[in-house]
Structure 1
Amino acid sequence: MTELRVAAGPELTAAELHGLLRLRCDVFVVEQRCPYPEVDGLDLDPDTLHLWWQPGAEPLACLRVLGAPGAVRRIGRVCTAEAARGTGLGGRLMAAALEHIGGDESELHAQVTAQGLYARFGYAPEGEPYDEDGITHVHMRRPAIPR
């Protein structure tokens, strides 16, 4: 069915980066109507890890993990193409990301409508919800898991 792909920032091909940026812009900028600086300079960082599901020419879901192993990791830019929603790709992608994160502490800024997804993976809200680009978010953290 779909294929999980994983690459550190410098390992991405131009076509892969283009596909990820296009999916993120389609979801966050166009669909959710949030004009924000999507291209933030972090995608090609050596400590950025990209995970995405891609059955063919275009990715269906993606996320990125920021930060070096052993530090607090940050999951972000989690999105699924509209046509692939409700298929479980988001959960499968999060499970794959946590395999790479291992026992490191991690955090994310969740849209409150997706808070339940992240709670399934051990993330708990911290602080009050806040507005980010016109959408209510909440900071969530998953503590380090002792080895």
Structure 2
Amino acid sequence: MYLSIKKFDELSTRELYDILKKREEVFIVEQKCPYPDCDGKDLESYHMLYKDGEKLVGYLRILPKGLSYDEISLGRILIDSSYREQKLGSRMVKKALEFVETVLCENRVRISAQLYLLNFYSSLGFESVGSPYEEDWIPHIEMLYKKED
């Protein structure tokens, strides 16, 4: 298995198709949540792909400051259902945080986490900020990661 991080224009047509298909499978079909996935933010984001051979098994996008929040943010974080329970999500988010810190030279990351994943993100150094809210009919909470100097 391997990770890669690419800007939108660096993605191949096949990679883009696989990303959109996997996001649809997880966020729209599996979670029964019809929402507009293509929100225009992909064009400005970095895309982390976690592949097992040619199969996309994990994905997230890294959004620049000012696109969703004042801080850099992570979004559309997913692991293929057949690969869950292998700690790939933890590895992927840690690699994304490392990329943000070392390549983008930032030490704060804000996310809108599904509430049931509060403990998962807390274990990775995120702290909840604010109160739970509903987004696309699913309870969420805003969380902030701050790398201590």
TM-score, length basis structure 2? 0.89
Runs of 4+ in 1 over 4 A off after TM superposition: none
Structure 2: where are the runs of 5+ without partners? none
TM-score, length basis structure 1? 0.90
Distance 2:135 2:64 in 1: 22
Letter in 2 for 1:17: L
Distance 1:58 1:135 in 2: 28
What is the total number of aligned residue pairs between the two structures?
Answer: 141
Deviations 1:32-85 (A, max 9, x none): 01100001112122xx111121112221111011005xx720100001111111
1:144: how far off?
Answer: 5.0
Distance 1:49 1:125 in 2: 24
Distance 1:65 1:14 in 2: 19
Corresponding residue of 1:5: 4
Q: 1:110 aligns with which of 110, 113, 118?
A: 113
Corresponding residue of 1:64: 61
Structure 1: where are the runs of 5+ without partners? none
Residue range with higher mean Cα deviation, 6-15 or 29-38: 6-15
Distance 2:42 2:13 in 1: 12
Aligned ranges for residues 49-128 of structure 1 at < 5 Å?
49-67=46-64, 72-102=71-101, 103-128=106-131
Answering whether residue 132 of structure 2 is matched by residue 129 of structure 1, we say yes
Q: What SS class does the counterpart of residue 17 from structure 1 fall into?
A: helix
CA RMSD of aligned residues (A): 1.4
Deviations 1:101-144 (A, max 9, x none): 11421100001111112112211001111111121110001125
Letter in 1 for 2:87: G
Whether the 8 Å CA contact 1:72–1:104 is kept in 2: the answer is: no
1:3: how far off?
Answer: 1.1
1:26: how far off?
Answer: 0.2
Letter in 1 for 2:56: P
